[in-house]
Amino acid sequence: MNEPRKQRDDPLDELLAEARWPELSPESIQRLTGHYRRLRRARLVWRNISIGLAAAAAVALVAGVSLRPMVQSRDVAERPAATAAAERRPVAIRPPEPSPPHVSAGRAPSALEMILFRAQERRQATSLSASGNDPPDRMQVSLDELVANPSADPAPITRSLIGRDDANEAERWLVDAISRESGDRARAALRLLSEVGSARSLPALVAAAKDPALRTAALPGLIRLADERTLAGLVRVEQDRRTRERLLAALLRREMASALPLFLDFVDDPDPQVRHAALAALDAMGDPPVEGLIAMLDAPRMERRFAAARALGRAAEPETLWRILSWVDRPERRREVLVALLASPDPLAQAALARASHHSALAGLIRHLQQTEPIHVVHESVAQPAL
């Protein structure tokens, strides 16, 4: 019996095993390797270009949207002052116009290329605008604007300065401008400094106030910045009645504990014009310091107590006058009460004095005070009320 026939493999495998493959030449292998390398490099380059163009387009779009309102707002803010400063500004040399993106001959730029081109134009326009608009230049333009229009309110102009520049830089520039300018330009610089200045500007404002030609322009800054003693010193040398009253009103608005004694010195001043200016400033206050004046009725010095009584009588309303009248029977307050009544223009004070003059203990004191008090109101005779 014959042995079973050994099962053979797949005929295709036998055929492939018997086949003989030709050897590749080194030149063929090199050409094939180079071809695949070039294909891979081209794919990588195209992928990088695509990513870069997409990122550049996104940046250009964001820059265009964010820069447009900034450029528009700067144009609106600077348009009124541009004409005044045109003669002093150096002529800007415009750089060559940007060339359109390179494209091959016979092909129009693509949409992405045009976006990049327009973004480059906007960046150059913004750079040109900023190069001629440095902080000193803007402050010079603001100064020119106020010189050209002296009746303009300086507050909006200075708000624009602070919004663009650091307030300290604007303050330093204006202090220097006051020292180097004169006439209308120095007055305009003082008006701007009065708005933006701090305590560092006070020496410059005080020095300017000594010049009669600059005092009015420096006054708003002094009223805003000066402390109590500085204001009191300015009142002493001021000759204009209205300016003196403004300084005294500013003094009353300072910290009451330190300002009120200084103010009462003017109420007791030997010069009648100074005394009346102090009372006029008190009259102009909507909320006079009544409680502070009442506290001063107990001051150690009699002159200070009498000055407080004069101011209190001048400022007191009927409710406060009734409160003062309740002290007339107190020996330690009697003189101050009568001084306050003599200084008060209120009819209630007139009636109280008429009533008190019938008391022998008070009649002589009232006549003495009427002869010696520097400030009192001469009342017409009225019917005596029942108190």
pLDDT for position 282: 92
What is d(CA 314, CA 195) in angstroms, rounded to the nearest whole number? 34
Please report the pLDDT score of residue 383 as a whole number: 39
| Long-range contacts from 160-165, C-beta under 8 angstroms, 24+ separation | 160/77, 161/192, 161/196, 162/196, 164/135, 164/138, 165/135, 165/138, 165/139
Rounded CA-CA distance 209/320 in Å is: 39
| Separation of alpha carbons 135 and 166, rounded Å | 9
The whole-number pLDDT of residue 167 equals 65
Helical H segments across 210-316, by residue range: 215-225, 228-237, 241-252, 256-267, 272-284, 290-296, 302-315
* pLDDT recorded at residue 68: 53
Indicate the domain borders of the chain.
131-226
Take residue 256 and report the two structure tokens written for it.
């009451």
User: Could you report how far apart the first and last alpha carbons of the chain are, in Å?
Assistant: 163
Q: Are 284 and 271 in contact (CB under 8 A)?
A: no
Q: Is the dihedral of CA 179, 183, 188, 194 positive or negative?
A: positive
DSSP 8-state secondary structure symbol assigned to residue 384: P
Question: Are the beta carbons of 209 and 222 closer than 8 angstroms?
Answer: yes
H helix runs in the chain, sequence order: 11-18, 26-82, 111-131, 135-148, 154-164, 167-180, 183-196, 202-209, 215-225, 228-237, 241-252, 256-267, 272-284, 290-296, 302-315, 318-325, 334-343, 347-356, 360-372
Q: What is the pLDDT of residue 362?
A: 86
pLDDT averages per 10-residue partition of the chain, 387 residues? 50 63 64 66 63 61 52 48 45 45 56 61 47 61 84 78 66 87 89 87 90 90 92 91 92 91 95 93 89 92 94 90 88 91 90 87 87 70 39
b (16+ CB within 10 A) / e for 21-56: eeeeeeeeeeeeeeeeeeeeeeeeeeeeeeeeeeee
DSSP letter assigned to residue 199 = G
Say what the pTM is: 0.59
Q: Round to whole Å and give the CA distance between 296 and 308.
A: 6
